[in-house]
Chains A and B, each alone.
Chain A
């Protein structure tokens, strides 16, 4: 199989326009004959479902939550980028495009990123019209801030709850379509397989999490908006229920999985407090705009932070990266924190933490100004740690946060399975090997509001509507496979809680395929993962039955998939013998310890294709061409 990116011809500025003109359209009267399945109701899924319904398609939307409003997009705090240039500070579509390609360390597809920058401006218009309460200036116009390493102020925000407000906007648009009858909303449903008929995705199999019923749903196309897989590390900032299952089941039906080793570690999270830890809490990296990061100069300095005088503090980011200081990209900030802690300079009880200090900002701007900017984050920090960050510096440490890898998609956001689309964090396309702050919300909504609704039309127009029925033998066969797998999980009556096994997998992945990776470490992970998998199938405890609400069974299914997926992640990290963005191979670094790319050999997206059980996946390469942004070594000095 060859990967066809289907990037349109022409200058980069014209590609999307040209493509929109050349795509086939579905006649307005025929749209109601088509049915589209959208799995997931986060920013990408909810916006896609609402927009497809507005266009006239029938939409079946699915979420495993009790309501579409609970998707994890809701937890994004900081903001959403858009090339509006409202601040008159030199921003443009080209600059956002350039920053995103460069920030992604040249491992993304230029044409996709340019399109993302183009539609970013429409997103803000759309959301403001929906009533999203973006921050405003006293004149009534929208406020912006600089965010996560950007040298222009292009980030729009709604206090520290930007993700929540954008998601509620999309949820409300979706609710309107549910009320109008164009969207059938299926809550409490987990997608457990994709149904292929003649090689095309024509439906899904779900489990009703409340009744346990396994159900078939047929459609003309299937869209996965099922998020990322950071929970492969067990501890991450993702919500408890985030998982790789939908994407993994798609992979096993022939959808190539691209760049699974590209994961992002977020620098500003609250450090682990003990073994009981169930997840990590992220605090918006907008905190780095005003907070200064430091550790004591002397590793034996155990004085409370406030008693350590200025000359005994090491502001290592400001010292090492004078032009970007505390605002270096996430991967650089994270790796430097790890380096300081590994060298013994870490703070807090575990030694895995660095200070994020607001004293000088409070001195400069006043406590009230800081409270207005970060009040809710400070409250959250105090609630969790019982320390007041107005008085003592915060302690932070990096944590897995976002996954740039995902299902491989072409320019139309279609996977290698015809009729199966992937949008939002679930696909791989726009962030390369490192995502910039405030770009996840932008990409989710770009895909859902402004890209997929067009490109899916081109696919549908080439296919007869209503060709699939749940009576087809393919549905029966796939449903039986799902039932067999569910039976096997519920038959696990061993002694170990499934979470304990997940934690064990997470530790291996964090140590060997986390912030820094080596060939030896990855090889040892590839030996350990099958052992943990064996332990899972021999010794996991799944009490209860499958015929009702059974949360252990839900988790067991997700962990079983993580235990397979993690191997492909390590294979990918092992194959990519270069450092780029969030993927840091210790073998490949500059003398200053920065990520050293190898463009000669690795300027491609690595897409892994399932070959069957007990077989290594095949590696497909999509070469990446950089015609508009010159490849340079990133430097934030």
Chain B
């Protein structure tokens, strides 16, 4: 296969970026998209030129590292497929392909196709966990969980934190990501004690990071390589409304001295 690539090159966060054109021949349809870029980068290295920066790690579609917009679509044309699992047989001989980084206010470009997604970590740090000190857990079978709820929780937990939902959303919203974690933990009994606090804190953090709001485009669900359902956003909104409406009675702070 022969391809014409237009790749976004940007030397640093502050620098002006632009598309650079590359012609590539001898592309095998069995190559993954990233292997195609490896070949291009090897060509550049042979010429002593700086290769294109893009991030990837597991190349099995689970670590969530790879992130690029291909012909306007986050992770490219195949549904439920990360870039690393996308193969060149999805493209035509002679095709022109545009490759860009995630575009979102909360994900500034680091270099070329790499962006800074640390905002996601800070959303999890705000409350995306169940507080259980190591060693203090009861026997795992002491808390039966109906299979349906457990499976639904797993559906939400499948999120790989790649950020495609944000990149695909016209508003740059992180609500699919945030709602997936809130639903994963909110659907199981272990997650109940912190449920109210969790949703408040995570939503506030999401807003502080300058992610946009959801206006029901549904692009996030479409771009998600793990098929996370937009219905989790509804679940999050419900939890958030409840958390905001119901005044939680605070226990007395000071402890009376004996």
The chain A residues found within 8 Å of chain B, CB to CB, are: 47, 50-51, 54, 65-72, 74-75, 84, 86, 122, 124-131, 133-142, 158-159, 161, 164-165, 168, 171-173, 175-176, 178-179, 185, 187, 210, 239-241, 273-274, 276-279, 281-282, 379-380, 383-384, 386, 449-450, 453, 493, 495-500, 541, 543-544, 548-552
Contacts and interface: CB of A to CB of B under 8 A. Distances in A.
A175 B129 contact: yes
A54 B135 CA distance: 11
B161 A497 contact: no
Given A278-B38, A380-B61, 11 more contacts: A51-B134, A67-B118, A68-B121, A86-B141, A133-B153, A140-B147, A159-B158, A276-B38, A278-B34, A450-B134, A493-B48
B12 A67 contact: no
Given A74-B63, A126-B134, A277 B35 contact: yes
A450 B65 CA distance: 29
B38 A172 contact: no
B138 interface: yes
A495 B182 CA distance: 51
B126 interface: yes
A65 B118 CA distance: 11
Contacts of A54: 133-134
Interface of B: 11-12, 28, 30-32, 34-36, 38-39, 41-42, 44-46, 48-51, 53, 55-65, 78, 80-81, 85, 87, 89, 110-111, 114, 116-118, 120-121, 124-126, 128-141, 143-147, 150-151, 153-154, 157-158, 160-161, 184-185, 188, 190-191
A495 B46 contact: yes
Nearest to B144: A140
A133 B191 CA distance: 12
A240 B58 CA distance: 6
Contact of A161 (B34, B62, B135, B143): B62
Contacts of B58: 72, 74-75, 239-240
Given A240-B59, A500-B42, A541-B48, A66 B157 contact: no
B49 A129 contact: no
Nearest to B134: A51
B63 A70 contact: yes
Contacts of A497: 41-42, 45-46
Given A128-B140, A172-B124, A70 B150 contact: no
Nearest to B123: A175
B229 to A, nearest CB: 15
A549 B111 contact: yes
Contacts of B56: 240
Contacts of A129: 130, 132, 136-138, 140, 190
DSSP majority for the B interface? loop
18 contacts: A67-B118, A69-B124, A128-B140, A131-B184, A131-B188, A134-B140, A138-B147, A164-B158, A172-B130, A273-B30, A276-B31, A281-B59, A380-B60, A383-B81, A383-B85, A384-B87, A453-B134, A543-B44
A9 B161 CA distance: 47
A423 to B, nearest CB: 14
A449 to B, nearest CB: 5
Contact of B89 (A67, A171, A386, A499): A386
Contacts of A493: 48
Given A74-B58, A140-B145, A386-B89, A175 B30 contact: no
B190 A128 contact: yes
A383 B30 CA distance: 10
B140 A279 contact: no
Contacts of A68: 121
A179 B137 contact: no
B44 A499 contact: no
Contacts of B153: 131, 133
Interface centre among B45, B59, B139, B191 (most CB of A within 10 A): B45
A276 B185 contact: no
A618 to B, nearest CB: 36
Nearest to A279: B59
B51 A136 contact: no
A164 B62 contact: yes
A141 B142 CA distance: 8
B214 to A, nearest CB: 23
A69 B45 contact: no
A50 B136 CA distance: 14
Nearest to B139: A125
Nearest to A76: B62
Contact of B130 (A74, A86, A130): A130
Contacts of B144: 136, 139-141
B52 to A, nearest CB: 9
A137 B147 contact: yes
A52 B119 CA distance: 25
Contacts of B44: 543
Report, nearest first, the 5 A-B pairs whose CB atoms are least far apart.
A140-B144, A172-B129, A129-B137, A128-B140, A133-B154
A245 B45 CA distance: 23
A67 B141 CA distance: 32
A72 B118 CA distance: 18
A70 B65 contact: yes
Contacts of B139: 125
A541 B45 contact: yes
A175 B125 contact: yes
Contacts of B145: 136, 140
Contacts of A173: 129, 132, 134
B154 A159 contact: yes
A276 B137 contact: no
A453 B133 CA distance: 13
A74 B55 CA distance: 16
A554 to B, nearest CB: 11
Contact of B150 (A72, A133, A171): A133
Contacts of A499: 38, 42
A125 B184 CA distance: 18
Contacts of B49: 543
Given A131-B191, A173-B129, A278 B42 contact: no
Nearest to A500: B42
A271 B158 CA distance: 27
A535 B135 CA distance: 52
Given A126-B134, A130-B130, A383-B81, A67 B157 contact: no
A65 B124 CA distance: 17
Interface centre among A67, A75, A129 (most CB of B within 10 A): A129
A278 B134 contact: no
Contact of B63 (A72, A122, A383): A72
Contacts of B38: 276, 278, 499
Given A138-B147, A141-B144, A552 B51 contact: yes
Contacts of A66: 55, 65, 114, 116-118
A47 B62 CA distance: 20
Contacts of A279: 59
Contacts of B161: 67, 69
Contacts of A495: 46
Contacts of A544: 50
A383 to B, nearest CB: 5
A273 B151 CA distance: 35
A178 B125 contact: yes
A164 B160 contact: yes
Contact of A130 (B78, B160, B190): B190
